[in-house]
Chains A and B, each alone.
Chain A
Amino acid sequence: MHYLREAFASRELLANLTLREIRGKYKRTVFGQLWSLANPLALMVIYTLVFSLIFRIKPEPGSPSGLNVFALWLLCGLLPWTFLATVLTNGTNALVSNAGLIQKVAFSRIVLPLSLVGSAGYNWLFEMAVLVIALSIAGAFVLPWIPLVLVIMVVLAIFVAGLSLMLAIANVYFRDTQYFITLILQMAIYLAPIIYPVSMVSKVSKDVGGLLGTPVTLEGIYLVNPMVHFVGIFRNLLYDNQFPPPAEWLICLAWAFGSFIAGLAVFRANEKRLAEAL
């Protein structure tokens, strides 16, 4: 608790570092903040071409919204995913890339990884706002669900913050972590229902049955991935316009707080040695 209070005292520094990231990022570009949309839009075009037109993946139409647009369905899962990927990639380097600062100035080190969550979160908020407008134009009634969307965004941000605290520390001791995480993220997008619906996994799982004679099914293993649950909630709210099952909320909350507490513990145990270890 004492530690949290100390971190809270640095909130102004946290805000300033976040602003540094946001302001510095698109400085001297012609399109500025619009660049933050470029990456998800490019992915959307490619994935829609490949997976909707060529592979013919057909997610169920949104119920009760009645939406049936693959690109929008995709974005509801893709935007949270790119947020996670950005924070984890940058967050892993948060301490190593600020080594000079850590070795020269005493301040609450935790603000370094957390400021990256803040700046990526800002971009994400911007992308989500554009998505909400696009969904509304397509005919979904998203507006009443916006408060809950914000809640799940915060929960995901807490989950990701915890992970990046651990990864940032790991990268100080093992510089492999940064390359490892890039690799993992490239694979992991296919292990979550971002570009295909969960129903396709359930179908395969039923065909295969229990693995090696045990009651463990493919779907059972698949559902361990927290992103399956997060993406599910985002799609429920944004695309289907229905309240997600309470169990799903609980799973996401548990992952978020578990990850954050573990991240905090790891960070705290190593914080004082950082200036020497870097």
Chain B
Amino acid sequence: MTDAAIQVDHVSKSFRMYKERNQTIKSAIMRGRTSVHEDFWALKDVTFDVPVGSTFGLIGSNGSGKSTLLKCLANIYYPTTGTITHNGRLAAMLEVGSGFHSELSGKENIFLNGSILGMSKKEVTRKFDEIVDFSGVEQFIDQPVKNYSSGMYVRLGFAIAINVDPDILVVDEVLAVGDAEFQEKCFQKFRDFKKMGKTVVLVSHAMSTVEAMCDHAAWINKGTLMAVGEAAPTIAAYTQSYGHEG
């Protein structure tokens, strides 16, 4: 047994950058090829472990490969080379409320979205009250979600996702949703997660968030892992680097 929740082992990911992409049959036949492309390496040989029970921050500038790595962790992208292994059930929250059907009611959407996120009907039924309570939309739960305000929409989506109850939770910058009160609720939920010995991986641009929440961090720059380890020194190294560049 190992005490790593996620092991990222020599992971590289390339994307094709198309100079020419013939997505219609006519152009594919006329040009005699479907595409001309160049490989772009979004991640280059990244290796690190995420310890069990840690809150792990991924930091770096825009376009550094954080989100690509997060999508690899979430099994949406698959690494070109290398492997990612995780011990325990993993849930990813890259966008809240994706898969909502606007004509269906909040209640129907809870069941639909829950099953997209991998919950069984039993689990959703058991957690239904908790979800509704957390989202704070009980008054409108039988209304179609298209009548929801954007805040209610996001809150409901978040409430479902957080109740998947995974061992490892992967979060993109979804914390920037809802009002201050709801954000505080979310942070509290993450702290509870930590207390239960669960692992959280999050991507954020807000250093204050990372500082407040994470005990470990990894800094990625242009697809290369620059530093990994305890949160404070990693964040310091990152802030220093852009301090120098201007």
Residues in A lying within 8 Å of B, measured CB to CB:
12-13, 16-17, 19-20, 23-24, 27-28, 100-107, 173-176, 180, 272-273, 275-276
| A-B interface contact total, Cβ < 8 Å | 71
Q: A13–B112 Cα gap in the complex (Å)?
A: 7
CA distance A14 to B227 in the complex (A): 42
Compute how far the CA of A28 lies from the CA of B34 in the bound complex, rounded to whole angstroms. 44
Tell me the minimal C-beta distance from B80 to chain A in angstroms.
Answer: 11
Say how far A234's CB is from chain B's closest CB, in angstroms. 33
Q: Which of A20, A100, A174, A275 has the most CB of B within 10 A?
A: A20
For B120, the chain A residues whose CB sits under 8 A away are: 12
Q: A20-B101, A20-B112 are in contact. Are A174 and B75 (CB under 8 A)?
A: no
Given contacts A105-B99, A176-B26, A275-B76, 9 further A-B contacts (CB under 8 A): A16-B116, A19-B112, A20-B112, A23-B103, A24-B101, A100-B98, A104-B98, A105-B98, A275-B77
**Most chain B CB atoms below 10 A, which of A105, A174, A273:** A105
Contact A104 B95 (CB under 8 A): yes
B residues in contact with A105, CB < 8 Å: 76, 92, 94-95, 98-99, 116-117
Could you show 11 A-B contacts with beta carbons less than 8 Å apart?
A12-B120, A24-B104, A27-B104, A100-B95, A102-B76, A104-B94, A104-B95, A105-B99, A107-B116, A174-B25, A276-B77
Which residues on A sit within 8 Å (CB–CB) of B75?
106
Residue of A nearest to B28 (CB): A174
Choose from B71, B103, B112 the contact partner of A17 (Cβ within 8 Å). B112
User: Nearest A residue to B122 by beta-carbon distance?
Assistant: A12
* Chain B residues, CB < 8 A from A20: 101, 104, 108, 112
Closest to A175 in B: B23
* Least Cβ–Cβ distance between A115 and chain B, in angstroms: 11
**Contact for A101 among B28, B99, B115, CB less than 8 A:** B99
Which of A16, A104, A176 is B115 in contact with, Cβ under 8 Å? A16
Query: Cβ of A12: which chain B residues have Cβ within 8 Å of it?
Result: 115, 120-121
- Residues B115 and A13 in contact, CB atoms below 8 Å apart: yes
A103 to B, closest residue via Cβ = B76
Secondary structure type dominating chain B contacts? loop
Q: Are A23 and B108 touching (Cβ within 8 A)?
A: yes
Let me know if B118 is at the binding interface, CB within 8 A: yes
Residue B187 lies at the interface, judged by CB distance under 8 Å to chain A? no
Q: Which residue of B lies closest to A100 (CB)?
A: B98
Find residues 8-64 in chain B having any chain A CB closer than 8 Å to their own CB.
Answer: 15, 23-26, 28, 34
Quick check: B78 and A173 within 8 Å, CB to CB?
Answer: no
Q: Which A residues are in CB contact (< 8 Å) with B177?
A: none
Taking the closest CB of chain B, its distance from the CB of A46, in whole angstroms, is 31
* Residue ID in chain B nearest A14 by CB atoms: B115
Inter-chain CA distance A276–B21, complex, in Å, is 14
Q: Scan residues 213-244 of chain B and give those whose CB is less than 8 A from a CB of chain A.
A: none
The reply to whether the CB of B193 lies closer than 8 angstroms to some CB of chain A is no
Q: Decide: A176 and B25 in contact? CB cutoff 8 A.
A: yes
CA of A107 to CA of B116 in the docked complex: distance in angstroms?
7
Residues of B within 8 A of A173 (CB): 23, 34
B74 touches A (CB below 8 Å): yes
- Is B158 part of the binding interface, using a Cβ–Cβ cutoff of 8 Å? no
Q: Does B111 contact A (CB under 8 A)?
A: yes
Chain B residues lying within 8 Å of A102, measured Cβ to Cβ, are: 76
Is there contact, CB below 8 Å, between B103 and A101? no
Contacting residue for B111 out of A16, A24, A275, CB 8 A: A16
Q: Which chain A residues lie closer than 8 Å to B112 at the CB level?
A: 16-17, 19-20
Given the known inter-chain contacts A24-B103, A176-B24, please indicate yes or no for A101 contacting B116, CB distance below 8 A: yes
- Min CB distance A22 to B, Å, is 11
Nearest B residue (CB) for A106: B75
Contact A106 B111 (CB under 8 A): no
Q: With a CB–CB cut-off of 8 A, which chain B residues contact A17?
A: 112, 116
Mark each residue of chain B from 73 to 117: 1 if its CB lies under 8 Å from any CB of chain A, else 0.
Answer: 011111000000000000010110011010110001001100111
Contact A104 B104 (CB under 8 A): no
Set of chain A residues within 8 Å of B28, measured between Cβ atoms: 174
Instruction: Give the CA-CA distance A98 to B76 in the complex, in Å.
Output: 14
